[in-house]
Amino acid sequence: MCDEAKLGEWARQAISRRQFGALTGAAALAACASGESSGNAQSPTPALTERGINFATADGTMDGFFVQPATGNHPAVILWPDIASIRESKRNIARKLAGAGYAVLVVNPYYRDVTGEQFADFAAFISDGGFRKVGPWRGKLNAEAIMRDTASIVDWLDRQEGVDQARGIGTQGYCMGGPFTVWSAAAVPSRVKAAASFHGGGLVRPDNPMSPHKVLDKVDAQLLIAVAQDDDAKAPEDKTTFADAAKAAGVTAKVEVYPGDHGWMVSDSPAYDAAAAAKGEADLLALYGAAL
């Protein structure tokens, strides 16, 4: 999983802000070549509409970024960011998915403490002491909190023009957001019908009764569990434990180790891998196409 030791390793590899910026720029160009928008919130991709949003939850007021096709009704998707939360790389993932026909909400998981973007990219997260800042915020994000949030998110989505309530909702998460997708599916099984975890950490927590692999009996969704190769090397038994739990619960789950290190899906990550990210995007669209 993405932890302080991992980011410290990246820093020791001398990824300076300038070098990281060059990397991010190259990744963005590669993403754009495959269809990802490089625009900003003021310049939405043609045929899409996007806006910042906020709505009430049981714990406060959640904010986020919502993008959808400009016309028609489409399945909704909840996007749980990684530890650096909402920023342009995540908005671009949402824009690209909206271009494929989905109404995508990128949520701010830290809304209990802060509003909006806190880090422009992973370079800023590393240089600005991100772990120290988010530690108290992240500590509040247990299974129960995410499940409460999901109930509010689904209620909000189902009241939005352009969201097709006759079709299921998908959810995808990165790094710390990976387990959130399983908890989301368990929270509102009548609506959340697909969940994808990309290089998710903490999917198997043996001593926690709310571990994602232990709540699969509450899930009525198809799952994609995309494991980073370096995470698998550290805990090779986790993929089998999760797959066995899914089978026992009667949940369709594709559990696969990808040819990329932790962070390979995210364009501002030092581990970004365009080829592995393209595979992840294709598998995600296949999941949503089958389940939503």
Q: State the total domains in the chain.
A: 1
Residues of the domain holding 75: 4-291
Closest CA to 195 of 137, 150, 260: 150
Structure confidence at residue 194 as a pLDDT band (50, 70, 90): very high
Least confident of 6-15, 60-69, 196-205, 273-282: 6-15
**pLDDT at 175 exceeding the cut of 70:** yes
- What does the H/E/C string look like for 4-53? HHHHHHHHHCCCCHHHHHHHHHHHHHHHHHCCCCCCCCCCCCCCEEEEEE
- What does the H/E/C string look like for 179-244? HHHHHHHHHCCCCEEEEEEECCCCCCCCCCCCCHHHCHHHCCCEEEEEEEHHHHHHCCHHHHHHHH
Q: Kindly give the pairing relationship between strand 76-80 and strand 253-258.
A: unpaired
In whole angstroms, give the CA distance from residue 190 to residue 187: 9
In this prediction, residue 227 carries a pLDDT of 98
In whole angstroms, give the CA distance from residue 10 to residue 16: 10
pLDDT digits (tens, 9 = 90+) for 63-118: 999 999 999 999 999 999 999 999 999 999 999 999 999 999 999 999 999 999 99
131 to each of 4, 70, 83, 255, 280, how far by Cα in Å? 7, 37, 8, 29, 27
CATH code of residue 238 = 3.40.50.1820
pTM surpassing 0.85? yes
Largest Cα–Cα distance in the chain? 50
In whole angstroms, give the CA distance from residue 265 to residue 2: 13
58's tokens: 């049981």
pLDDT digits (tens, 9 = 90+) for 113-143: 999 999 999 899 989 899 999 999 999 999 9
Structure confidence at residue 9 as a pLDDT band (50, 70, 90): low
Give 91's DSSP letter: H
Work out the average pLDDT over 155-170. 98
Structure confidence at residue 32 as a pLDDT band (50, 70, 90): very low
